[in-house]
Amino acid sequence: MTDVSGAAWVEEAFARWPEGPGFPVSSLIPTGFDALARILHPTRRVENDDGTGTWAEIAAERGGVMHPSVQFEALVGGRGPEEAPDWDDLVPLTELPEREARVLAEVLSRFTGTPEVCWFAIWDGYGSFGPPDGYSIKVDPDGSRRIVEDTRAEAAAFRSELARYPLVRTLWSRSEPSFPAREYFLFRGPVDAVLNFRFGVWWQPPNIWWPDDRAWCVATEVDGYDSYVGGTRACIDAVLTSSDLEVLPIEPDARLGPTDPLNPAPWDTAAPPV
């Protein structure tokens, strides 16, 4: 979109990112909804791009406690695959998987009067918006994909083209409007267009999406392992009762990371981090 005025409300509806440890949920999903749900992204082994497990399975295996503000690091008892105690190569997906996006689109389309007009904001820092000099992936008319040489001039032209499009901005604080927390390109289409966001071979779902009537909103923080949905009570109840999502109710003032109130912090375990 060359006109991002349709996202003005989003820029104002996020709580400011606070100083100190952790974040309130209201800084990750626009405020003002009747109810919220937290969708936990499936975990995978580092060598497998597909989601292979749930957080509840990890909790059952390792004696953890599932609760609305549960932290993945606390459940697995380590800071990362290369650190002790390790995660046994388990990592959660940082993006909303395509399967979960499809489920959400089907559920949420029933709770808006404008399913034909939806807005999608994607963080401008993804590699999809800055092709590296040297190569790129092209899609031929028959649908096949191939790597081709990409000159510096072509890459520069691509970035110059992107510069034509204004960005949606969320702020760290109102006192520092020149220092945004995140900036996003804005797209528009029907609700089910959320499944069309592919750049070459890469699935790159939007970070924030909502219908034109603002009946609900989905948000996925760039560095997070989960997504959030805000909407009416009926809408969120439908999300919470979906058997195809690992989802928990959560309050807007709940605080997330780096501590977990019911599971021990990774650095409190017997084997110290390295």
Q: Please tell me whether residues 157 and 240 are part of one structural domain.
A: no
Q: Please tell me whether residues 40 and 139 are part of one structural domain.
A: no
Adjacent-strand bridge partners of 186: 121
What pLDDT shows up at residue 268? 46
Residue at 148 is within a domain: yes
For the chain, how many structural domains are there in total?
2
Residue at 106 is within a domain: yes
Residue at 273 is within a domain: no
174 and 16 Cβ atoms separated by less than 8 Å? yes
Cα 33 to Cα 36, 40, 44, 107, 168: the distances in Å are 7, 20, 32, 17, 21
* Residue 128: count of CB within 10 angstroms of its CB: 16
Cα 251 to Cα 25, 127, 143: the distances in Å are 7, 33, 44
Q: Please tell me whether residues 146 and 60 are part of one structural domain.
A: no
13 and 25 Cβ atoms separated by less than 8 Å? no
The domain boundary, picked from 113, 139, 164, lies at: 164
User: For residue 180, is the peptide bond before it cis, meaning its omega torsion is within 30 degrees of 0?
Assistant: no
Q: Please tell me whether residues 151 and 71 are part of one structural domain.
A: no
Residue at 274 is within a domain: no
Residue at 65 is within a domain: yes
CA distance 15 to 9: 12
Can you give the pLDDT of all 274 residues of the chain as single tens digits? 999 999 999 888 887 766 666 778 888 899 899 999 999 998 876 555 555 689 998 888 888 999 999 988 888 775 555 554 455 566 777 889 899 999 999 999 999 999 999 999 999 888 777 655 555 666 677 766 666 655 556 666 766 777 888 899 886 655 555 556 788 999 999 999 999 998 777 788 999 999 999 999 999 988 888 999 999 999 999 999 999 999 999 998 888 876 788 887 665 444 444 3
- Tell me the residue range of the domain where 226 lies: 5-124+167-268
CA distance 25 to 258: 13
